[in-house]
Amino acid sequence: MKTSLETLDGLKRSLTVELPIDIFKKKADQVLQKMAPQVAIDGFRKGKVPLSILRKQFGANASSDAVNEIVNETLSDALTEVKSTPAAQPMITKVDSENKTNFSYTVEFEVFPEIKVGDFSKLKIDQTTVKITKADEDRTMEGLKEQSIEYKAVKRKSKDGDRLSIDFKGLIDGKVFEGGEATNFNIVLGKGSMIAGFEEGLTDVVADKAVTLDLVFPKEYHAPQLAGKAVVFEVKINEVASPKVPTLDAKFAKKFGEKDMDALQKSMKEQMRVEIDNRLSNQNKDAIFNALLMANEFDVPQGSVDNEARNLLSEMEARMEQQGMPSKGGSLPASTFNGEATRRVKLGLLVSQIASDNNFVASKKQLDEKLEEMSQAYGENSQQMVDYYNEDPTRLSSIELLVVEKMVSDLVLEKAKVTSKSKKFQEVTQPQA
């Protein structure tokens, strides 16, 4: 076997493998002989068709199968010989089986980049800390209290704090705009959940009344097609309901599975700490990895990016289906996700290289500790979650990746210039506008 490796553009490679033509001819004849027992040709008994006739009738198919079999049998050794590892399955681009002395095939593929990781000490990384205050705890308890508000229909005029059930249509230039129509829509007056003037226009009205509101969308409205536009809302009030605010007592605590307010306060504080720790862990990890990515430039295999983009598209479709939204048959191409896919592939290669350079391997103890940590969020089903991962090595590999990522991030933080930045609880936990 003779091999020749050529470097194409970027990470692309072309490998030509040359073998004696007799190897190909023998393989093609073997394919034909396997076909023979099933072939029926007029004038010959089944299984008794001469090889020369089979070549004439099925030679093209046999040649194709022979090429595939030879590639499967020789490619691995050929790649080893040229010391090259494909990032994805190589594609056959050329076959020459007509030469009198030699048979050859050419495959093209991408290789993984050679990564030389930069000096960690030159990295500048921000890490966020949060101190949970009494005011944060009070706000969280107020949120639980608000969740438990019960509403009762009343026959008086509406006021701040009331919940209204309404039907409405929003018209721009006499036409209902997309998303501007709803029935039995609930709105609590005074929350500021709608554009300026909407809730004010529904104050001091009774059920079964129709109201017309002439309003204007804010210039900085999140939907550009509506920003600054004049709009007319035709609203029918179906119900006015008055709030009954719960008392913070044992009865209230039991709604959240606790025996009394002391137990609820303790549970709430623990949940707040778990939530902030999880968010900070993700944010701080992102800060580390973003700094690494910016400091280490290298090409990534496009095939890997394409595969990851398809995965991201599938994940989005699965989320849409869970939310009861149509997801299949859309026009969104996988390439829409190429930016995030490239980042993920690059980060995966970079973390893998750092782990390899430092001989990082997740131990059984580390895996068990990580599983134990993750299982806390599953309550009574925590052991079931641990068993789920332990019973399948492919599932456990995702936990192994998390452990190795932590080892990498700890190493980077140990050597980089780290600035600690304090943020408020609400800054970290509330979604950004």
Same domain, 234 and 355: no
Task: Tell me if 138 is assigned to some domain.
Answer: no
Beta strands 417-423 and 124-130, pairing class: parallel
CATH number of the domain enclosing 95: 3.30.70.1050
340-359 pLDDT tens trace = 999 999 999 999 999 999 99
Q: What whole-number distance in Å separates Cα of residue 71 and Cα of residue 67?
A: 6
Q: What is the pLDDT of residue 57?
A: 61
For 187, phi and psi rounded to 5 degrees? Answer: -140, 135
Q: Which of 115, 117, 129 is nearest to 287 (CA)?
A: 129
- 346-347-351 Cα angle (round to 5): 120
Residue 333 resides in a domain: yes
Percent of the chain with pLDDT over 90: 75
The separation between the first and the last C-alpha atoms of the chain, rounded to the nearest angstrom, is 63
User: Residues with Cβ < 8 Å from 61, sequence gap 6 or more?
Assistant: none
Q: Percent of the chain at pLDDT above 70? A: 92
Which of the listed residues 221, 244, 267 is the one where a domain comes to its end? 244
Same domain, 304 and 411: yes
- Mean pLDDT across 240-260: 94
pLDDT, greater one: 5 or 62? 5
Instruction: Match 């782990």 to its residue by tokens.
Output: 355
Structure tokens at 307: 């595969």
Quick one: average pLDDT of 161-171?
95
CB 202 within 8 Å of CB 189: yes
pLDDT at residue 206 tops 80 = yes
> Do residues 59 and 164 both lie within one domain?
no
Clarify whether residues 290 and 398 are in a common domain. yes
Checking if the pLDDT of 19 tops 90, the result is yes
Residue 182 sits in a domain whose CATH number is 3.10.50.40
CA distance 115 to 349: 8
pLDDT on residue 369: 93
Taking the complete model, does pTM exceed 0.75, yes or no? Answer: no
Whole-number pLDDT of residue 39: 61
d(CA 136, CA 144): 13
Q: How many Å apart are CA 304 and CA 109, to the nearest integer?
A: 11
In a domain, 143, yes or no: no
> How many residues in the chain?
433
Count of alpha carbons within 13 angstroms of residue 195, beta-carbon side: 21
Task: Specify the range with the lowest mean pLDDT, choosing from 2-16, 38-52, 244-258, 391-405.
Answer: 38-52
The verdict on 30 and 77 lying in the same domain is yes
Helix (H) / strand (E) containing 19: strand 12-20
Within its chain, how far is the Cα of 111 from the centroid?
25
Rounded distance between C-alpha atoms, residue 265 and residue 130, angstroms: 19
Supply φ then ψ for residue 177, to 5 degrees.
Answer: -80, 160
- DSSP run (H or E) holding 231: strand 230-244
> Is residue 38, in this structure, part of any structural domain at all?
yes
What amino acid occupies position 85? T
Eight-class DSSP state of 351? H
Q: Is the pLDDT of residue 40 over 70?
A: no
Judge whether 95 and 105 are in contact, CB under 8 Å.
Answer: yes
pLDDT digits (tens, 9 = 90+) for 399-418: 999 999 999 999 999 999 99
User: Pick from 285, 310, 297, 324: which is nearest to 410 by CA?
Assistant: 285
| Contact by Cβ (8 Å): 182, 168 | yes
Q: Note whether 196 and 57 are same-domain residues.
A: no
| pLDDT tens, position by position, 89-132 | 999 999 999 899 999 999 999 999 999 999 999 999 999 999 99
The string of DSSP letters for 96-130 reads E---SSEEEEEEEEEBPPP--PPPGGG-EEEEEEE
Both tokens of 166, joined, read 């309404």
Q: Are residues 91 and 165 in the same domain?
A: no
User: Rounded to whole angstroms, how far apart are CA atoms 274 and 173?
Assistant: 50
Question: Which CATH number belongs to the domain containing residue 294 in this structure?
Answer: 1.10.3120
Given a cut of 70, is residue 173 above it in pLDDT? yes
Helices (H), 323-380: 338-357, 364-375
Q: What are the tens digits of pLDDT across the range 251-293?
A: 999 999 999 999 999 999 999 998 999 899 999 999 999 999 9
Q: How far apart are CA 335 and CA 342, in angstroms?
A: 11
Task: Supply the pLDDT for residue 433.
Answer: 47
Tokens matching residue 296: 């280490």
SS3 220: coil
Q: Let me know if residue 65 belongs to a domain.
A: yes
Q: Is the pLDDT of residue 37 over 80?
A: no
- 289 with 238, same domain: the answer is no
Mean pLDDT computed over 235-256: 94
261/281 same-domain check: yes
Residue 141, domain member (yes or no): no
Whether 172 and 224 share a structural domain: yes
Domain termination site, one of 189, 212, 244: 244
Inter-residue contact 80 to 42 (CB < 8 Å): no
- Residue 24 pLDDT > 90: yes
User: Of 220, 244, 268, at which residue does a domain stop?
Assistant: 244
**How many structural domains are present in the chain?**
3
Q: Are 354 and 423 within one domain?
A: yes
Tell me if 139 is assigned to some domain. Answer: no
Lowest mean pLDDT among 60-74, 312-326, 364-378: 312-326
Nearest-angstrom CA–CA distance, 59 and 57: 6
Which pairs count as long-range contacts for 214-221, CB under 8 Å and 24+ apart, including other chains?
221/195
Q: Is 212 in the same domain as 356? A: no
The answer to whether residue 53 is domain-embedded is yes
Residue 393: the pLDDT is: 86
Cβ atoms of 197 and 230 closer than 8 Å: no
> Which residues form the domain of 378?
120-131+253-429
Q: Which alpha helices (DSSP H) does 246-260 contain, by range?
A: 250-254
